[in-house]
A and B are shown apart, each in its own frame.
Chain A
């Protein structure tokens, strides 16, 4: 989880991601950050997000991102 937060803070420095319910609704991330986040997760965890997975729902909080990564076989 710490690593996820680190990746998120590289995209949006200074934001408090831990404990936030919805990064997008609460203004921590926007749709352009989403594309940067996908690229960062792909390069760090060597996974591939398909086009139908690149939707805010999959990335709205730490638990959602973790679930997506676990589904892709990442041990997190």
Chain B
């Protein structure tokens, strides 16, 4: 296994730029949020040499991530000329700048071949460069128009590259409310950007790295009174809470709910944790005319008088998700404090006091970052609701074997395909519990591994009569001599408790044996939270060398396993 497959290793980030980026390097290293990083700032002003030549000494650092941050007027000489009116013909220098932008993009593409992830902040100019406002957006002539076109060249050139992410430095700059450039520091140490811009950049780079590793938050748990609406519904009554126009405070809470609904639509799970009467509160949610969120938008709730930390633990258990993927939103400082003390792994931010600031606060959070958005995300809430239906059937019957048979589970096994790569990597990186090796890889690295000789990767699509779980399983084999090793064995918590893992293992072992492996091993990484995977495999080993005992591997009769395009030859 290469070193970057160790889930606990620090991500190595190489910073390359045309000005001093060391302040950013230090902020990245000192930022306490995951993932831990180790940085190296290459000497400034050698951008093209480093991008184009993998033998440059900067590459000896062996980065997992390359960040290339350049200033348009320095790295594209013709932008500098347009900026300072140093030209005979504006259209000529404008076109020359676009060609230089293309060359820069091509150099980044070359560098992206030998690093897992490339981050490129878009080009920005200092706010004090007013230029000529009447001309700046004139196409073929103006500075603002040129900068926009140059950035679009980057976006176009990188569009098909899974491992290059353009970072929106224009958004960083606009979010500061302070200058993003510091002329003093440029004079003192060739540091172009202000400390506050570097601070913003460090937070955003960390957030994007978390997203690419699947470490974004998954669940938002909301309080009700004075969080989803103004007032206390139990005291004030459903008609007197502040929610919806024309009351301005009510309008603010509506806007906040709509922002939450937007996050729900992109795949976050919403839940409720509130001290209220359950029946009454749920009736308000479903019947109040101004509620943007209805019962169907929430996947679980704890509406009772117990303490909130206890309720959050219950929600995590019900949803089968780790508390470190939870965000807790509550207007009460006392409740927040209790949750922070008991459950520090839950992200419990202070909420703004003004209702008007609630929605902007929520939409500015960087903890929900993700590297892809697909069908799985759009349908997530519906999938969790189907799960509620399944559990209700189990509760009624009580007979697990019969219940499993009644679910009519189907597992579709498929070799890893390019189009399912984003979801496969999301699953690999986000799954903590049922994960054999806890290997965390970016898309490109995982695809390269899967394509290498002697490796095979399978994805599993699971469905039952209540609905479709989507791509919820992943397994990989590495053949070596007469044996095979299961390198990854990952299953979403969504399908846990249904013997799906038995079917997956049965399939993987059959593949390994059909390809000539005389024995199959499944050594696990002893992580803090992958107990379910460790327990499952430990019970299947015939000896201490993690060799599987075939007598204990079988596809359960309640599960229909289908294979699609599975070729035995490797």
Measured CB to CB, the residues of A under 8 A from B are: 13, 31-32, 34-36, 38-40, 43, 49-51, 54
Contacts and interface: CB of A to CB of B under 8 A. Distances in A.
Contacts of B23: 32, 35-36
Contacts of A50: 184
B188 A35 contact: yes
A32 B195 contact: no
A31 B185 CA distance: 11
Given A36-B23, A38-B185, A51-B183, 7 more contacts: A34-B188, A35-B188, A35-B191, A36-B26, A51-B184, A51-B187, A54-B184
24 contacts: A13-B30, A32-B22, A32-B26, A32-B189, A34-B188, A35-B23, A35-B185, A35-B188, A35-B191, A35-B195, A36-B26, A36-B195, A38-B185, A39-B194, A39-B195, A39-B196, A43-B196, A49-B184, A51-B183, A51-B184, A51-B187, A51-B188, A54-B185, A54-B188
Which of B23, B191, B195 has most A Cβ within 10 Å? B195
A50 B187 CA distance: 11
B195 to A, nearest CB: 3
B189 A35 contact: yes
Nearest to B199: A39
Contacts of A38: 185
B15 to A, nearest CB: 13
Nearest to B188: A54
A53 B106 CA distance: 42
Interface of B: 20, 22-23, 26, 30, 183-185, 187-189, 191, 194-196
A33 to B, nearest CB: 8
Nearest to B185: A35
Contacts of B194: 39
What 9 A-B pairs have minimum CB-CB distances, sorted nearest first? Answer: A39-B195, A51-B184, A32-B22, A54-B188, A35-B185, A51-B187, A35-B189, A35-B191, A36-B23
A41 B195 CA distance: 12
A63 B142 CA distance: 51
Contacts, number: 33
- Interface of chain B: mostly helix, strand, loop or mixed: helix
B22 to A, nearest CB: 5
Nearest to A48: B184
Which of B26, B30, B184, B191 has most A Cβ within 10 Å? B184
Contacts of B195: 35-36, 39-40, 43
B180 to A, nearest CB: 13
Which of A35, A38, A50 has most B Cβ within 10 Å? A35
A11 to B, nearest CB: 8
Nearest to B183: A51
A38 B492 CA distance: 49
B188 to A, nearest CB: 5
A51 B194 CA distance: 14
Contacts of B26: 32, 36
Contacts of A54: 184-185, 188
A40 B22 CA distance: 16
A31 B189 contact: yes
A34 B195 CA distance: 12
A38 B187 CA distance: 14
Nearest to B184: A51
A40 B184 CA distance: 15
A48 B195 CA distance: 14
Nearest to B195: A39
Contacts of A31: 189
Nearest to A40: B195
A60 to B, nearest CB: 16
A34 B188 CA distance: 10
Contacts of B188: 34-35, 51, 54
A73 B22 CA distance: 31
A49 B182 CA distance: 12
B204 to A, nearest CB: 18
B198 to A, nearest CB: 9
A39 B196 CA distance: 8
Contacts of B191: 35
A32 B188 CA distance: 10
Contacts of A35: 23, 185, 188-189, 191, 195
A53 B488 CA distance: 57
A62 B185 CA distance: 22
Contacts of B196: 39, 43
Nearest to A37: B195
A36 B188 CA distance: 12
Contacts of B30: 13
Contacts of A49: 184
A54 B194 CA distance: 14
Contacts of B189: 31-32, 35
Nearest to B27: A36
A36 B23 CA distance: 7
A61 B23 CA distance: 21
A39 B187 CA distance: 15
Nearest to B25: A32
Nearest to A51: B184
B90 to A, nearest CB: 33
Which of A36, A49, A50, A54 has most B Cβ within 10 Å? A36
Which of A13, A32, A34, A54 has most B Cβ within 10 Å? A32
